[in-house]
Chain A
Amino acid sequence: MIRENPKIIRRRKLGRRSVLAAGGGVAAAASFGFPSIAQSSLRGTRLTVLASNWFVPENNTQLDQLAADVSRDTGMEVRIERFAGDELSTKVASVIATGRGADIAVGVEFDTYLYANRLADVTELADEIGRTYGGWFDVAQAACMVNGRWRSLCIGQAPAAWNYRVDHFAAAGINQFPDTFDDLLKAAQTLHARGTPIGMTLGHASGDGRSTNYPVLWAFGGKEFADDGRTVTLDSPQTLQAVEWYAEIYKYFIPGTTAWLDADNNQAFLASRISATVNVNTIYLASRAAADPARKAVADNMNHGLWPRGPAGRFANYNINVWLPFASSQNQEGQRAFLRAWYSRNFLPNWTKTGQSYFIPTFAGFDKEDVWPADPKLQIFRELNKLNRLPGHSGPPTPAAAEAVSKYILVDMFAKACTGQMKPAEAVKWAAREYEQIARRRRN
């Protein structure tokens, strides 16, 4: 079991008042949950929702059904339009810039504070929903609140774990996934010698680039910023140690990881070309569902492991999805009706369970809900759900941290050292200079 980080999942203390409030929340949930919505004021209005194409197809179908139900119950036409991940970000940026094209969209964690003044204030709704499900994780508040107000609502996070081939590890004499970075390095050496190397994404992958590399920095004690979120602290002995470890383990990777995008480690693992990588559970779910026996065998022979523990502890970084309610929308009442339906007890727990822990809502109370998959190979994601840190940790998420992510500075720092383009110390100094420039520009 993972020890929960109290800073990350600080729960609301349960007292008499909060119990009463929670009771009220449940009552409120019953009232705002569809299909009891009967808001005649919405009749004849229209709501366009931009969504991503979630990995589990049934999750997309459920959203379509929710839209149909809300349309039926309110008389408001709810239209779901889907875009692929990176294209959705472009579409969101265009809606923010022009005020046209959609009323609500699925965004990522940084969108909230990048676009805060263009997003509607949904604080009251967030409080209602939080009470219904036992309180939001701190990571949700960090991703959705700006200056004390909720500007978005957290949909969930996609926990990334180590995906590894149990059969390859066993053949190399390793019976469980390494628990320290030293052990992971030794395992990589052994696996490489046996012709079954591992691979960690070092390319400009919008998802895996972060989830693979930030945890290494944090585990060795490196940090991008101090707790104030403004002072750059990247150039430190701890960061150097992380980069040196990475440069060493890179020697035992499968070739080509510096060019990997989000799909490439999936493909390499599914093709049995690597024996371990960092990913969400899409590799497992895809191979488990495959008709082809060879791909199905990958699911039978794999499992998921936690990030190793480093000198500073065990960390992880996941993609977060949020609902962005655009302030430019002419139908803000419709936005709230849709969001209430999404977070209703009739919908959200079922949607979560159907998703097989691919996306997990960030509620403390969900630990006790019947939303977890029975498959033992997916059990670990319940624990991983509690580990997430946002870029900029241990400071607050800031536009500077977001810009560094979008420029892949941390990923490039590791990659430059791994490929020999720079010595580890030079790579750290290069990255620190880049961070300084961003921080200076954001301060001015």
Chain B
Amino acid sequence: MSADSSTGIAIGARHPRMERALFLYAPLAFALLFLVGPFYWMLITALKPDSDLYDPTSSPLYVSAPTLEHFRYLFERTDFVLWLQNTMIVATLSTTIALVMGVPAGYALARFRFRFSELIGTSIFVTYLVPTTLLFIPMIHVMVQFGLDDSIWSLVVVYPTFLVPFVTWLMSGYFRTIPTELEDCARVDGMTRIGAMLKIAIPLARPGILSAAIFSFTLSWNEFIYALTLVTASTERTIPVGVLVQLTRADVYFWGPLMAGALLGSIPVAIVYSFFVDQYASGLTAGAVKG
């Protein structure tokens, strides 16, 4: 290294441990605190007895006498299991629909050159950005026409309206990273266009499809406005709406069960992420360096 000892590189060369601590572990620790903090807070609050929750002398960062009373309350005195089941049905089906429609659409936008293809691609993504607060009233009218109002099936139909554009946009970017030559070779060997898509492109795009699936699942799982306005019956509610309704009374919030519900509600999503995290990361970054 040169005599320029004022640069970070020179410091790093002489103090590699310090460099790692400063530029790797410190930012990582901060990121970890930022990302895990809310979950830790949920866990601690869910495990604290009420006496600790309202005790100003009790530390908010640890629990001295953990209890499962809030979890018991959640399962025994609310319809949490029913909401969980509804949420799972809605998220799984709407994600499946979004993938079935969005993956071929993304492939078409990536592979075919036709008039206004760029414009159509951009327009599809822009529809994803239209806020649900603008759309929920027309959507209710549409669901009434379909005879699906006040049912979770309305959510299964409505959620793909914002999931399909997202999946299409994500997948079109991913398909562009897969060399077209692979499909061309297959077609030279006699495979049809659809065959090439199904047997060559889609298997190679599996990380991208998993990313789209995980994102779609999470968006459906957490969605609130449609779940609130399209469904009235308490037996048809999803977790975000159900938890809020049964665990608040006027201006009093049942923080323990609320946090227990939020924690348990986020576990299925966390499990899905943890299983596919490697492919998810590569799926998200694959399109980053290619148009």
Contact = CB atoms under 8 A, between A and B. Distances in A.
Contacts of A294: 51, 54-55
A367 interface: no
Contacts of A111: none
B170 interface: no
A262 B137 contact: no
Contacts of B241: 87
Given A84-B244, A84-B245, A101-B232, A54 B55 contact: no
Interface stretch (A90-98, A119-127, A244-252, A374-382): A90-98
Q: Taking each of B49, B136, B225, B245, which has the highest tally of chain A beta carbons within 10 Å of its own beta carbon?
A: B245
A134 to B, nearest CB: 28
B235 to A, nearest CB: 10
Nearest to A48: B232
Contacts of A50: 232
Contacts of B229: 90-91, 94, 101
B137 A98 contact: yes
Contacts of B245: 53, 82-84, 87
B233 to A, nearest CB: 6
A282 B252 contact: yes
B73 to A, nearest CB: 13
A94 B252 contact: no
B56 A272 contact: yes
Given A82-B245, A98-B140, A271-B54, A266 B251 contact: yes
B183 interface: no
A263 interface: yes
Q: How large is the interface on A (under 10, 10 to 19, 20 to 34, 35 or more residues)?
A: 35 or more
A295 interface: yes
Interface string A40-55: 0000000010101111
B141 interface: yes
A363 B88 CA distance: 48
Majority SS of interface residues in chain A?
A: mixed
B232 A290 contact: no
Given A55-B249, A55-B252, A90-B228, A273 B140 contact: no
Nearest to B133: A90
A81 interface: yes
B107 to A, nearest CB: 37
Interface in B136-175: 136-137, 140-141, 144, 149-150
A74 B140 CA distance: 30
Given A94-B136, A98-B140, A273-B56, A84 B232 contact: no
A271 B251 contact: no
A25 interface: no
Nearest to A85: B250
Contacts of A282: 250-252
A279 interface: yes
Interface in B217-247: 225, 228-229, 232-234, 241, 244-246
B253 interface: yes
A82 B51 CA distance: 29
B248 interface: yes
Contacts of B19: none
Contact of A91 (B55, B228, B253): B228
A266 B51 CA distance: 15
A286 interface: yes
Contacts of A349: none
Contacts of B136: 94
Contacts of B150: 100-101
A91 B150 CA distance: 12
Contact of B144 (A100, A267, A279): A100
Contacts of A290: 50
Nearest to B253: A263
Residue among B141, B233, B249 with the highest chain A CB neighbour number at 10 A: B249
Contacts of A143: none
Contact of A271 (B55, B228, B234, B253): B55
A102 interface: yes
A84 B149 contact: no
Interface string A252-277: 00000000001100110011110000
B134 to A, nearest CB: 12
Contacts of A97: 137, 140
Interface of A: 48, 50, 52-55, 57, 79, 81-85, 87, 90-91, 94, 97-98, 100-102, 158, 207-208, 262-263, 266-267, 270-273, 279-280, 282, 286, 290-292, 294-295, 358
17 contacts: A52-B250, A53-B248, A55-B249, A81-B233, A83-B228, A90-B229, A91-B232, A98-B140, A100-B140, A100-B149, A101-B149, A101-B232, A208-B251, A266-B252, A290-B50, A291-B50, A295-B54
Given A57-B249, A358-B250, 16 more contacts: A48-B232, A53-B246, A54-B250, A82-B245, A94-B140, A100-B144, A101-B229, A101-B232, A262-B251, A280-B250, A282-B252, A286-B252, A291-B50, A292-B49, A294-B54, A295-B54
